[in-house]
Amino acid sequence: MEVKARAPGKIILAGEHAVVHGSTAVAAAIDLYTYVTLRFPLQSAENSDRLTLQLKDISLEFSWSLARIKEAIPYDSSTLCRSTPTSCSQETLKSIAVLVEEQNLPKEKIWLSSGISTFLWLYTRIIGFNPATVVINSELPYGSGLGSSAALCVALTAALLASSISDKTCGNGWSSLDETNLELLNKWAFEGEKIIHGKPSGIDNTVSAYGNMIKFCSGEITRLQSNMPLRMLITNTRVGRNTKALVSGVSQRAARHPDAMNSVFNAVDSISQELAAIIQSKDETSVTEKEESIKELMEMNQGLLQSMGVSHSSIEAVVQTTVKHKLVSKLTGAGGGGCVLTLLPTGTVVDKVVEELESSGFQCFTASIGGNGAQISY
């Protein structure tokens, strides 16, 4: 049997960093996906006693005997309940880490360790100790702020849960899960994100699971329904950043200048609230007028992010390049590098700006905003 699943990446449209200080943030799914294929062998097959993970994008393969996995991961049939998402204990995580270390990851790929640990935890908790080959490939650049880890957790969980669904009626096309299964999927994916990130907000996995857009404030997530098409140029600066250090830097600046920074955070909150209202608006305002408003809000948000100290010369280079083409850009995510969003109003031709950005060593994608969440196929 073969099961396929896919889950989208995400962008932060407004509110990054300020959200840590009580402001509202708006996030959206993008039509760049992570794909997971789950294959179960026949009983007589050669690899009927192994669990294999193939990472197609980076040409790596890992394989464990089921006996070795059972030896390392505590097993109690009474605790195997896919309908009750559970956290991975530190003790179990240490045992899983040993399984990962035994695969002798290349030093330059050691950052994959937490993702592989997440794979082993989700697989054994949802499926148990059954042989399979799991193939993963992604359209999302790793570690760039586009939610690649959440998309992995969501797509993997979707495939694992889908393998146990008795009514496999979606044929060869992509089909969304029902609300009950989506809620379960999101909870499991959040447990996976905790292994990778420690204390995630839940924004990334929720956007990836449900799709469309969400509003997030003080731990509360509200799903939004977009009533207008939005396209973005996403530019990966290829500059790595330390998210923890950037978040800390904003907090330190807020401690030094509390009144000024509170004004910045309040301004960001207003931008996020207005953006969410425009996106959901059903009034007769033209798409062009709405796009103009969003452009202005993005421009203001970028200025506020600069004032927080989280921009970077690579981000500014993208901003200045797109300004020459009468387009507006802002960083997305932690800043300090990572990715930059450029709004593409209806009818915009991007060939020249993409050519200019890529000649500077940047990586460009075009994406539709607010599309489907997790989907499965058999």
Residue 206 near residue 25 (C-beta atoms within 8 A): no
DSSP 103: T
Integer CA distances (angstroms), 132 to 36, 99, 163, 299, in order = 12, 17, 11, 48
Strands of 231-236's sheet, edge to edge?
A: 329-332, 339-343, 231-236, 363-368
Q: One of 49, 204, 269, 351 is an active-site residue; which one?
A: 204
Say whether 204 is catalytic: yes
120 φ, ψ (degrees, to nearest 5): -65, -40
Residue 273 near residue 18 (C-beta atoms within 8 A): no
Q: First CA to last CA across the chain, in angstroms?
A: 8
Q: Which tokens belong to 331?
A: 């960083």
Integer CA distances (angstroms), 94 to 117, 131, 144, 207, in order = 9, 23, 27, 30
CA distance 339 to 318: 10
Task: Determine how β-strand 132-138 pairs with β-strand 50-55.
Answer: parallel
Q: Which residues are catalytic?
A: 204
